[in-house]
Amino acid sequence: MALNIMQLAVKFADKNPGITQGHRLCPGCAAPNVAKFALMTAEALGYTPVVGFATGCMEVSTTIYPYTAWNIPYIHNAFENAAATVSGVETAYRALLKRGRLVDPNKKYAFFAFGGDGGTYDIGLQSLSGAVERGHKFIYIVYDNEGYMNTGNQRSGATPPGSQTTTQPVGKKLPGKIQLKKNLVEIMASHENVYVATVSTSEPMDFFKKIEKALEFDGPSFIAAMSPCVRFWRVNDDKAVEISKLAVETGYWPLYEVERGVYKITKKVKELKPVREFLEKQGRFRNLLKRPDADEIINELQEYITRRWERLLSLEEATKDKPIR
């Protein structure tokens, strides 16, 4: 089925896709739109979503006892095991289907696990890797806001170099976090039996198409979504989409997919904008930009982004029509 953005807008204008209004997320937060885009696509394609959530900003803000913003099957277990929990739900579904114990065996379900970067890049990586290796048919979506934002902006494996956090502030000795962001997309792609993609809410049709592909994929899928935190990225609450778009245009957040080892760039940027433009729009890099060695640090990041983009172009050409599995 070809998804049409206007049809989706009309369909869900007066109908929520599973997460309702009235949650306690910050105004302008990108995370609920990440979830809504995924759930809208699933429902438009005839699936009933089943959602598992790792502990984090969105889990806490949508389920403050005794209220919930979810009106679809939803489960929260712990910080580190959203993937394991949903893999168990998916297995139970297959067992019940095999034994003829489902009321409607023809009903299609889409099993989603959501987590922030803290619960995915770090605390939940073992659980995620295990669920993918076992081959469960589910979609894991990380809303990547590049830090432990729920607890006040601590650094995570997803935090970029030069970013100011409470656990790695910018000072005379160090320019904030000094390590590069963990390349989790490539880690997940190395499992080989998986569909992996990056998405951004600034490119909704690309987002919808990748969710559709993940739903149709015979196996596990991993989707990494750029999800600006307006509070701790220090941007205005109407700038999340603009910042996401700039991340794509600078190559900081390239949009591509890997299906069983085959790479495809889904948005080719003719000429990457300087990453400095992305950094200067955010207050979290303000102190970095004031340092006397700012140019040196930013140039190192720019070189890394350029090399990674060139590598992606090479991988796309080298893996064309050459699936591993």
Per residue in 135-153, pLDDT tens?
999 999 999 999 999 999 9
DSSP state of 226: E
Both tokens assigned to 205: 């049709």
As a whole number of angstroms, the longest Cα–Cα distance in the chain is: 68
Arithmetic mean of pLDDT, 41-64: 96
Reply yes or no on whether the pLDDT at 70 is more than 90. yes
pLDDT per residue as tens digits for the range 171-190: 888 899 999 999 999 999 99
Q: How far is CA 121 from CA 62, 140, 163, 188, in A?
A: 22, 12, 17, 10
Q: What is the mean pLDDT of the chain?
A: 95
Contact between 210 and 266 (Cβ < 8 Å):
yes
CA pair distance 159, 165, nearest whole angstrom: 9
Domain 15-318 architecture: 3-Layer(aba) Sandwich (3.40)
Instruction: Output the pLDDT for position 192.
Output: 95
Please state, for a pLDDT cut of 90, what percent of the chain lies above it. 92
Q: pTM for the complete prediction?
A: 0.96
Reply yes or no on whether the pLDDT at 248 is more than 90. yes
For residue 59, give the nearest of 37, 43, 38, 78 by alpha carbon.
Answer: 78
Strand 256-259 and strand 262-265: the pairing is antiparallel
CA pair distance 293, 171, nearest whole angstrom: 12
Both tokens assigned to 60: 């806490």
Arithmetic mean of pLDDT, 62-89: 96
Contacts of 252 (CB under 8 A, 6+ apart): 160, 246, 275, 278, 305
Instruction: Output the pLDDT for position 12.
Output: 82
Instruction: Output the pLDDT for position 187.
Output: 98
Question: What is the strand order of the sheet 195-200 is part of?
Answer: 74-76, 47-53, 108-116, 139-144, 221-226, 195-200, 256-259, 262-265
Instruction: Output the pLDDT for position 172.
Output: 86
- Amino acid identity, residue 61? S
Arithmetic mean of pLDDT, 252-268: 98
Arithmetic mean of pLDDT, 146-166: 96
pLDDT per residue as tens digits for the range 187-234: 999 999 999 999 999 999 999 999 999 999 999 999 999 999 999 999
Per-residue pLDDT band for 69 (boundaries 50, 70, 90) equals very high
Per-residue pLDDT band for 95 (boundaries 50, 70, 90) equals very high
Instruction: Output the pLDDT for position 110.
Output: 98
Arithmetic mean of pLDDT, 113-141: 98
Arithmetic mean of pLDDT, 71-80: 96
Strand 221-226 and strand 195-200: the pairing is parallel
CA pair distance 192, 134, nearest whole angstrom: 12
pLDDT per residue as tens digits for the range 5-45: 777 877 887 788 999 888 999 999 999 999 999 999 999 99
CA pair distance 313, 149, nearest whole angstrom: 33
Instruction: Output the pLDDT for position 1.
Output: 62
Instruction: Output the pLDDT for position 54.
Output: 98
CA pair distance 1, 271, nearest whole angstrom: 33
Arithmetic mean of pLDDT, 159-166: 95
